[in-house]
Structure 1
Amino acid sequence: MHTDTERCVRAVQSKDARFDGWFFTAVTTTRIYCRPSCPVVPPKAENMTFYPSAAACQQAGFRACKRCRPDSSPGSPEWNQRADLVARAMRLIGDGVVDRDGVPGLASRLGYSARQVERQLRAELGAGPLALARAQRAQTARLLIETTALPMAEIAFAAGFSSIRTFNDTVREVFALAPGELRARAPKRTASPAGTAPAASSRAPGVLSLRLPFRKPLNPDNLFGHLIATGVPGVEEWRDGAYRRTLDLPFGHGIVALTPHPDHIGCRLSLTDPRDLTIAISRCRRMLDLDADPDAVDGQLRSDPLLAPLVDKAPGRRVPGTVDEAEFAVRAVLGQQVSTAAARTHAARLVTAHGTPVADAEGGLTHLFPTPGQLAALDPESLALPRSRRTTLTTLVSHLADGRLKLGAESDWEESRARLAELPGFGPWTVEVIALRALGDPDAFLPSDLGIRRAAQELGLPHTPAALTARAAAWRPWRAYAVQYLWAIDDHPINFIPA
């Protein structure tokens, strides 16, 4: 979008928050870059230059605006609605792969050469993987500086910097303030619409309180309702108005509490290692689909006169995702042809028998969901499942554990579908529900789902799978969102947040 100068200028002049994260405005006279909704008086059009990423702005010599904090914008929806190389690379960079494994590790996960990855990222985003990761490190550093009492040296390494000098230089370059100055100014910034929560609320040891921004509108009912209704005891819970769950992270583990608010999602993170902050935030954002563009989605679905009333009644529905793709695949198999309650019971037994115990001082969370490696050793006879489903589960776990099947942020959606379909017991419903909630394909569709067929019949839509699929072609590429609106017709706990 950043190449459409006229459209970008209009968005900046109207301070349109819908475009935050889509592009960034660099002002040539001040050498500052902003989000489109920046509250300051818009500059003259001839003094605006537009970039597709904060990293590209920084690489061109611009520093972040202190008023609108462009590094706190919602992420571009492009990276979660596409499955090409650039989109998959951006999801992996958001997942901290470059910081942990370098550019060669990123390229290896994608199946391309480092040169190809570099070339394509530069062509589309104006910055290579190192610059994009550096911009992300700067944002993580700011969050830690402003919301914790950690010493600066600890923050530098937790944010992924190789040295304190590099940390200091980067913070000064990006924010035009030294790290100590950023911390001193933090209390004055707590009213920022997309910034962090008040610093005083996050000074408890090991606990970070943040605000996760999104593009309005956001309907939390099905989003949180689905997570709560299907939550695995010991791993997930609803407590004091927050969805809480354990997180298995590269450097340790964590517990997150996510609370819906009208203009942000409150996020309280307890981490055993602060180096996991970036990846924890990234996974929570993906689980809650916070980088979606509801105007594009709802606008397309409203074009169908039978869907339009559902969209108008409760716009901004998101697709509930997951923080762990392998975990969700296991849970999808456990949920085959059984009730939600039965699926939760089966999952809870696996967690108790094979999950890693954790301590939760604030609630009732007890375990991490077991990894494929931990589940690979389970005895199939111990599973209270039909024999055919035991085979399905153990085959899935084996393929995940040895790497024959990969369901991470780097996954090509169609390739993953094909590999899943080759496994015994994986029919169209299981493959598509994994594509919808684990892979994050916005066009995943479940025409054979009983709830979808009932909703379709009630609306007067075709309700046989083939006929409904043909009719749903008009909803592409947002059929996963149409699924949420259709599911919402049913009086089911997944559509409601507990009182």
Structure 2
Amino acid sequence: MHEDFERCVRAVHSRDARFDGWFFTAVTSTRIYCRPSCPVPPPQVRHMTFLPSAAAAQQAGFRACKRCRPDASPGSPQWNARADLVGRAVRLIADGVVDREGVPGLAHRLGYSTRQVQRHVLAELGAGPLAVARAQRAQAARTLIETSTLPMGDIAFAAGFGSIRSFNDTVREVFALTPGELRERAGRGARAQAAPGTVTVRLPYRAPLAAAELFAQLASDALPGVEEWRDGALRRTLRLPHGTGVVALRPAAGHVECRLALADLRDLGSAVNRCRWLLDLDADPVAVDAALAADPRLAPLVAAVPGRRVPRAVDGVELAVRAVLGPDASSRLVAAYGEPVADPDGGLTNVFPDVSVLAAVDPVVLEVAAAVEKAFAALVEAVAAGGLDLGVGADWAVARQRLRDLPGLDESTVESIAMRALGDPDAWPGTGQYGEPAERWRPWRAYAFGHLAG
């Protein structure tokens, strides 16, 4: 998109918010970069250049606009619709893999050499994995500066910086303000202090968003103790790289309010990313709706519910286990093996068991048929042994084939896992229910399934 200069110029002149996150406008005369929808009068065309990511803009020496806050744009929808090397890499970087394991760890997860990963990411994002991770750290730091009363040293640590100096230098370079000035601009003195470890952020998205349908489906699927619908918000527990957490997600005007209570604030970036993934907030609903509405069978459904999203999962293994066991056995599993969690604000009691605990489950507790028990055991064994990856960086084709090789998983279950755990927008769980899907629904068959299933 950023390589189509004339199209980018038209998007900037029309302040088209649909393109926020697709590309960034860098202004060579002011050294500022913006969203396409920035409310500031657009610069002269000769001063515009277009870059594929905030990281590329920052690496080129541009600072973030103080009006439109381009670093907080929705993510580019292309990364969540792609299962190639770069798409998988971007999703893993967003989940904090580079901060925790470095670029060699990212490359190992992807099955490529470090040099190959760096070359491909740089070619498409205009910045390497370290620069992309740095941009995310800067955004996490800004969120904590503006929404918490934490000391700056604690914020630097929580955002993933190795030192106070690198934290200060990065914030000044990216935002042209010191951390103290950012906090002052946010007016922290007029706000009440939040509980320790609690942060509230806004999750932006591209309009339209069929929020009622999205949250209704997630609420209807809620697993007692792990998820609940309370006071207009979807609440659930989270297992994160450094600890556990509880999130409350509430639809609001133009964004989703995300209130996080984290055992370790280093998990902020991962938690926000997983909530965005759960709600499919980086989708391009206008493009999806236009493609599906071209079919007379789907046109009235799309018109009735524009902006439908595909609900996903905060943990791929949890989703797959629940798909295999069903709701009743999953509830018994959580009650017997879920990690207890404190929730003074609601009725959440447990975090879903991790793989090591699942591998030690007594099948008697599940009270399921022998075939289901066998399928559950095979699934857990494959994940525990490393032969099956259901994370955001998984290769969709490989994961599908390995799921099909497991005993007891029919094609509909495999495709449901591909749709909600892997996030494949072209997954088709409707086998045997709606006939063969039309080829013209590709690559959005998961959204077509959502419309048909109601």
Residue 239 of structure 1: which of 223, 230, 241 is its match?
Answer: 230
- How far the C-alpha of 1:14 sits from its partner, in A, is 0.7
Q: Which amino acid aligns with 2:429?
A: L
In the TM superposition, 1:154-303 aligns within 5 A as 154-187=154-187, 200=191, 203-303=194-294
Asked if the contact 1:146–1:199 (Cα under 8 Å) also holds between the matched residues in 2, the reply is: no
Unmatched 5+ stretches in structure 1: 189-197, 336-342, 454-462, 489-499
* CA distance in 2: counterparts of 1:372 and 1:252, whole angstroms: 15
Q: Which amino acid aligns with 2:81?
A: Q
- How far the C-alpha of 1:156 sits from its partner, in A, is 0.5
Which residue in the other structure is 2:97 paired with?
Answer: 97
Deviation per CA, 1:189-216: give whole Å up to 9, x if none. Answer: xxxxxxxxx9826633221111100000
* CA distance in 1: counterparts of 2:197 and 2:190, whole angstroms: 13
Which residue in the other structure is 1:495 paired with?
Answer: none
Q: Does 1:399 align with 2:365?
A: no
In the TM superposition, 1:381-420 aligns within 5 A as 381-420=364-403
In the TM superposition, 1:3-152 aligns within 5 A as 3-152=3-152
Asked if the contact 1:432–1:446 (Cα under 8 Å) also holds between the matched residues in 2, the reply is: yes
- How far the C-alpha of 1:382 sits from its partner, in A, is 2.8
Asked if the contact 2:413–2:429 (Cα under 8 Å) also holds between the matched residues in 1, the reply is: no
User: Alignment partner of 1:291: what SS?
Assistant: coil
* CA distance in 1: counterparts of 2:205 and 2:275, whole angstroms: 12
* CA distance in 2: counterparts of 1:298 and 1:202, whole angstroms: 42
Asked if the contact 2:333–2:365 (Cα under 8 Å) also holds between the matched residues in 1, the reply is: no
Q: Which amino acid aligns with 1:362?
A: D
Alpha-carbon distance change, 151 to 353 in structure 1, aligned in 2, over 3 angstroms: same
In the TM superposition, 1:467-478 aligns within 5 A as 468-469=436-437, 472-478=438-444
Asked if the contact 1:285–1:291 (Cα under 8 Å) also holds between the matched residues in 2, the reply is: yes
Q: Does 1:426 align with 2:392?
A: no
* CA distance in 1: counterparts of 2:191 and 2:411, whole angstroms: 50
Asked if the contact 1:322–1:438 (Cα under 8 Å) also holds between the matched residues in 2, the reply is: yes
* CA distance in 1: counterparts of 2:113 and 2:274, whole angstroms: 26
User: Alignment partner of 2:228: what SS?
Assistant: strand
Q: Which amino acid aligns with 1:277?
A: L
Q: Which amino acid aligns with 1:376?
A: A
* CA distance in 2: counterparts of 1:443 and 1:59, whole angstroms: 34
- How far the C-alpha of 1:487 sits from its partner, in A, is 1.0
* CA distance in 2: counterparts of 1:199 and 1:109, whole angstroms: 45
Percent pairwise identity: 64
* CA distance in 2: counterparts of 1:425 and 1:444, whole angstroms: 19
Unmatched 5+ stretches in structure 2: none
* CA distance in 1: counterparts of 2:37 and 2:120, whole angstroms: 29
Q: Which amino acid aligns with 2:303?
A: D
* CA distance in 2: counterparts of 1:122 and 1:202, whole angstroms: 41
Q: Which amino acid aligns with 1:96?
A: G
* CA distance in 2: counterparts of 1:199 and 1:146, whole angstroms: 12
Q: Which amino acid aligns with 2:108?
A: S
* CA distance in 1: counterparts of 2:128 and 2:112, whole angstroms: 15
Asked if the contact 2:336–2:365 (Cα under 8 Å) also holds between the matched residues in 1, the reply is: no
Q: Does 1:438 align with 2:418?
A: no
TM-score by length of 2: 0.98
- How far the C-alpha of 1:295 sits from its partner, in A, is 0.8
- How far the C-alpha of 1:299 sits from its partner, in A, is 0.5
User: Alignment partner of 1:245: what SS?
Assistant: strand
Deviation per CA, 1:70-109: give whole Å up to 9, x if none. Answer: 0110000011000000000000000000000000000000
* CA distance in 1: counterparts of 2:92 and 2:358, whole angstroms: 25
The answer to which of 270-279 and 345-354 deviates more is 345-354
Q: Does 1:483 align with 2:449?
A: yes
* CA distance in 2: counterparts of 1:365 and 1:248, whole angstroms: 13
Which residue in the other structure is 1:494 paired with?
Answer: none
User: Alignment partner of 2:253: what SS?
Assistant: coil
* CA distance in 1: counterparts of 2:325 and 2:182, whole angstroms: 48
- How far the C-alpha of 1:367 sits from its partner, in A, is 0.3
Alpha-carbon distance change, 298 to 201 in structure 1, aligned in 2, over 3 angstroms: farther
Which residue in the other structure is 1:376 paired with?
Answer: 359
Alpha-carbon distance change, 202 to 407 in structure 1, aligned in 2, over 3 angstroms: farther
In the TM superposition, 1:327-366 aligns within 5 A as 327-335=318-326, 343=327, 345-366=328-349
- How far the C-alpha of 1:371 sits from its partner, in A, is 1.0
* CA distance in 1: counterparts of 2:71 and 2:418, whole angstroms: 30
Q: Which amino acid aligns with 1:371?
A: D
* CA distance in 1: counterparts of 2:240 and 2:370, whole angstroms: 33
Which residue in the other structure is 1:497 paired with?
Answer: none
* CA distance in 1: counterparts of 2:319 and 2:430, whole angstroms: 20
Q: Which amino acid aligns with 2:407?
A: P
- How far the C-alpha of 1:222 sits from its partner, in A, is 2.6
Alpha-carbon distance change, 202 to 19 in structure 1, aligned in 2, over 3 angstroms: farther
* CA distance in 1: counterparts of 2:20 and 2:110, whole angstroms: 28
- How far the C-alpha of 1:399 sits from its partner, in A, is 1.3
Q: Structure 1 residue runs of 4+, over 4 Å off?
A: none
Deviation per CA, 1:324-381: give whole Å up to 9, x if none. Answer: 000000000013xxxxxxx2x2211100111100000100000000112101111223
Q: Which amino acid aligns with 2:350?
A: H
Q: Which amino acid aligns with 1:212?
A: L
Deviation per CA, 1:252-289: give whole Å up to 9, x if none. Answer: 11000000123110110000100000000000000000
Q: Which amino acid aligns with 1:93?
A: I
Deviation per CA, 1:378-416: give whole Å up to 9, x if none. Answer: 122332111111010111111112212111111111110
* CA distance in 1: counterparts of 2:192 and 2:243, whole angstroms: 23
* CA distance in 2: counterparts of 1:447 and 1:348, whole angstroms: 25
Asked if the contact 1:254–1:270 (Cα under 8 Å) also holds between the matched residues in 2, the reply is: yes
* CA distance in 2: counterparts of 1:377 and 1:199, whole angstroms: 51
Asked if the contact 1:23–1:35 (Cα under 8 Å) also holds between the matched residues in 2, the reply is: yes
User: Alignment partner of 1:439: what SS?
Assistant: coil
Asked if the contact 1:24–1:35 (Cα under 8 Å) also holds between the matched residues in 2, the reply is: yes
Asked if the contact 1:147–1:202 (Cα under 8 Å) also holds between the matched residues in 2, the reply is: no
Asked if the contact 1:2–1:8 (Cα under 8 Å) also holds between the matched residues in 2, the reply is: yes
